[in-house]
Structure 1
Amino acid sequence: MVVERLGNNKVRIFISYEDLEERGIDRDEIWQNGRKVQELFWDMMERAYVEVGFEVMGPIAVEAFTMPTEGVVVIVTQVPSIPEEVEKDKEESDTDEHIVMVDPSTAFTFVFDDFENVLAAAKVVHASFDLTTSLYHYRDRYFLFIDEETMDQTETDALWAILHEYGTLSNVTKAVLDEYGKLIVQDTALETLTQYFTN
């Protein structure tokens, strides 16, 4: 198990398939909320506290994705309390982000706290992938929607690993972004950002 702190409120943990087998956990079980998986999670949190000082206090968002031949990467993020004014938005939509274990698919959304992180991610990803991407602004953050049916699992995992350096996986759907967000670039977000905003 390898623990890496990504910021004040985020930690990344890698656990190999060998480690899972030693704990009696099949790789498919990682998506289930069974007793062994819960024990594994709290072991990871204890290791994160001991090694990098990451302490779980309050709500957290948990994301996980597989590396086909190596193991599982788990991203844990401290979630700030929701301001009262944001609660009003729930009357319009009940699709807020929440604690989630995510199985990779070919359509997903990453959220970025600022535009600089979007640009940094765009520069790296566009150099390695040819993707259909749309960029939205929603609730003072930037959401990159990626829809690529031709990617295999290995490519998806590699893409996630890059994007997690700059943003966080979000479960805000494209439908919500279309309805409530502001579309900045449609379908060619990475290409456009790289062309006009990076050297």
Structure 2
Amino acid sequence: MARHKEYDEKEVLQKATELFRYQGYEKTSLQDLVSHMGIHRRSLYDTFGDKHSLFLKALEHYDNNMKKNMDIQVKNSSTAKDAIRSILEMAISQDNEKTVGCLTINSAVELTLHDQEVAEKIEQNFSKTEKIILELLLRGQNSGEIPKHHDIEKLSQFIHNSFVGLRVLVKTTNDKNKLKNIIDTTLSVLD
């Protein structure tokens, strides 16, 4: 008879995601994971597979949460420009997490040159975010908020690059004015 799980799978996945976000992939041992997640090693293997499989699931979990937050920002914004601003501000709103940063960005820097599966996952995550921005730009052009002469595909790439850059900068500075200035300058290209 199969044994009943004595833990919530989503809850322990969230714990693993937090640990990977804080320590990175390479510095996180299997023992660190089982201790932080509060499960046995066998349970980790049975539920998530090996450390690498767990990491890929953690990346996906993190990305899904980011997209949910973006969707909330978009729905709560009255204009396309406001929605884009809200998305950019998400990158700098991580109070007291300067040293932690974003799991996606941290993983891109740490692993994409050496791990094809992670590189593909990061590229998928980046593409989803660019698509959200592209759709907002299209909405803005259709409403007349953003001039038609703009190439929205190139703009979505540029704004996404600013979003990624902001997610890196929050790890190195507490200067909110500097970060807000970057957002303002980024959005100024939409005029």
| Same fold, TM-score > 0.5, yes or no | no
Higher helix share: 2
Higher strand share: 1
Bigger relative contact order (CA 8 A; separation at least 6): 2
